[in-house]
């Protein structure tokens, strides 16, 4: 049994979890505190859960119940109330209404069993009906267990969709190679890249690295399922303007992710704001390991002799097709730090080759006066010679943490 519990009362959550585990130790409960995490996304139907337990805390209950039961296909809702009269909750479509006292009775387990049966029938019908099959189609690929909500973006060779995963019990981003490949070798190559990205992320398993859930091939389309970030990427936050301390906090989290990556023998090779996503709590997560170099694998997924990356964020050695190591990713992080502080890139030009030239030949630009205390850090990050940079991500992180403490102390002193 898998349940979603929407409740802001920690004590009540503990009571419900203890009660359920006493009867069903294998049951899974995902707890969501609406005060801290906000309401459920409008597109979410909880199809991966057998039931949703919703409390009526802080006067939010009936309004939230009305929203959930109005969503066609939403999981059965068991409404837990402190009110004496359950009539209105039932009229709004609750599968069952229980008082808090009834959690301690057999009525609780009967309501759960009934909801589980109803959801099982509804899930089976959805999976096999023509309408349900249509919602599991992503372009030309039929992918069982995922409900397509909408297309988020279209790239040169793949589309990115917002979907609901039955297995994950969450909204996910699903990347599908768009066009049917005429040459099976091309499909195999794409799948190998997805497979390497999946294996890299699974091996790292760091809080500041994206979660990848699944991958496969369906109808001659390779696909990859990953964590969905409704807050978007770091570019959005940078356009709104970032103060120095939040910028450094973000950079510290990215540096920690690089520590884990480099320790696992992986270079990102395309570190840029568009590949730093933001979770609901504001914490960053690195994505897009499709161009990463995994020194632990013999198979290289990029073509020899080509330069991969984004010119604005590439180290001088990467831009010139020279051998690179972890210090190249550290250079890219330095570019991001500079841009977070100034809202400008350190080197800009009209074409990519001119940008690459500037990275190697032009001096490191000066930070504006309010940030001049951070100039030595920027100089180390953006040193032309890798020997003059921070030599590893841990060293870079320590420098960022020291700068953060300095700014915090200065702010408190004023």
Query: Which residues are marked as active site?
Result: 270
Q: State how far the Cα of 146 lies from the Cα of 47, in Å rounded to an integer.
A: 10
End-to-end Cα spacing for the chain: 55
194 burial type by CB count under 10 A (0-12 exposed, 13-18 middle, 19+ buried): buried
What are the backbone dihedrals phi and psi of residue 177, each rounded to the nearest 5 degrees, phi first? -65, 125
* Separation in Å, CA 348 to CA 112, 353, 355, 368, 379: 60, 11, 6, 17, 17
What are the backbone dihedrals phi and psi of residue 131, each rounded to the nearest 5 degrees, phi first? -65, -40
* Separation in Å, CA 352 to CA 170, 270, 281, 320: 39, 15, 35, 12
Strands, DSSP E only, in 208-275? 212-218, 221-227, 266-267
Q: State how far the Cα of 56 lies from the Cα of 350, in Å rounded to an integer.
A: 58
Residue 360, token pair as written in the block: 């190697």
Q: State how far the Cα of 43 lies from the Cα of 173, in Å rounded to an integer.
A: 13
3-state helix, strand, coil in the chain (%, to 5): 45, 20, 35
Taking the alpha carbons of 39, 42, 43, 47 in that order, is the dihedral positive or negative? positive
Considering only CA atoms, which of 322, 320, 332 is closest in space to residue 356?
A: 320
331 burial type by CB count under 10 A (0-12 exposed, 13-18 middle, 19+ buried): buried
Count other Cβ atoms within 10 Å, centred on residue 414: 5
Q: Who's near 90: CB < 8 A, 6+ residues apart? A: 97
Q: Are 285 and 227 in contact (CB under 8 A)?
A: yes
Q: Are 138 and 158 in contact (CB under 8 A)?
A: no
Secondary element (H or E) of residue 175: strand 170-177
Taking the alpha carbons of 386, 387, 389, 391 in that order, is the dihedral positive or negative? positive
């Amino acid at each position: 049994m898998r349940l979603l519990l929407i409740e802001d009362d920690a004590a009540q959550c503990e009571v419900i979890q203890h009660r359920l585990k006493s009867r069903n130790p294998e049951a899974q409960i995902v707890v969501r505190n609406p005060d801290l995490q906000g309401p459920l996304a409008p597109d979410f139907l909880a199809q991966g859960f057998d039931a949703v337990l919703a409390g009526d805390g802080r006067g939010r209950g009936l309004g939230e119940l009305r929203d959930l039961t109005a969503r066609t296909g939403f999981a059965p809702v068991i409404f837990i109330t402190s009110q004496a009269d359950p009539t209105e909750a039932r009229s709004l479509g609750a599968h069952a209404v229980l008082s808090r006292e009834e959690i301690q009775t057999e009525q609780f387990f009967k309501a759960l069993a009934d909801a589980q049966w109803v959801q099982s029938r509804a899930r089976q019908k959805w999976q096999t009906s023509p309408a349900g099959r249509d919602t599991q189609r992503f372009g030309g690929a039929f992918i069982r267990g995922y409900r397509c909500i909408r297309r988020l973006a279209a790239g040169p060779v793949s589309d990115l969709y917002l979907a609901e995963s039955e297995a994950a019990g969450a909204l996910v981003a699903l990347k599908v190679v768009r066009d049917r490949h005429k040459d099976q070798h091309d499909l195999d190559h794409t799948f190998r890249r997805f497979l390497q990205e999946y294996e890299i992320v699974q091996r790292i398993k760091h809080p500041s690295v994206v979660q990848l859930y699944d991958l496969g091939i369906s109808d001659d389309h390779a696909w990859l399922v990953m964590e969905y970030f409704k807050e978007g990427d770091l570019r959005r936050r940078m356009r709104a303007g970032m103060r120095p301390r939040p910028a450094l906090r973000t950079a510290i989290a990215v540096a920690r992710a690089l520590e884990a990556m480099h320790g696992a023998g992986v270079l990102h090779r395309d570190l840029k704001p568009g590949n730093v996503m933001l979770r609901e709590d504001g914490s960053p997560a690195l994505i897009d390991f499709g161009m990463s170099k995994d020194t632990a694998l013999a198979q290289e997924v990029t073509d020899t002799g080509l330069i991969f990356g984004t010119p604005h964020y590439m180290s001088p050695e990467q831009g010139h097709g020279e051998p690179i190591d972890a210090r190249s990713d550290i250079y890219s992080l330095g570019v991001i730090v500079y841009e977070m502080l100034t809202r400008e890139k350190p080197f800009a030009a009209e074409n990519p080759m001119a940008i690459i030239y500037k990275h190697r030949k032009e001096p490191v630009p000066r930070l504006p006066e309010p940030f001049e205390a951070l100039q030595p850090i920027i100089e180390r990050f953006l040193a032309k010679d890798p020997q003059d940079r921070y030599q590893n991500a841990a060293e870079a992180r320590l420098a960022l943490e020291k700068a953060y403490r300095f700014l915090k102390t200065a702010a408190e002193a004023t």
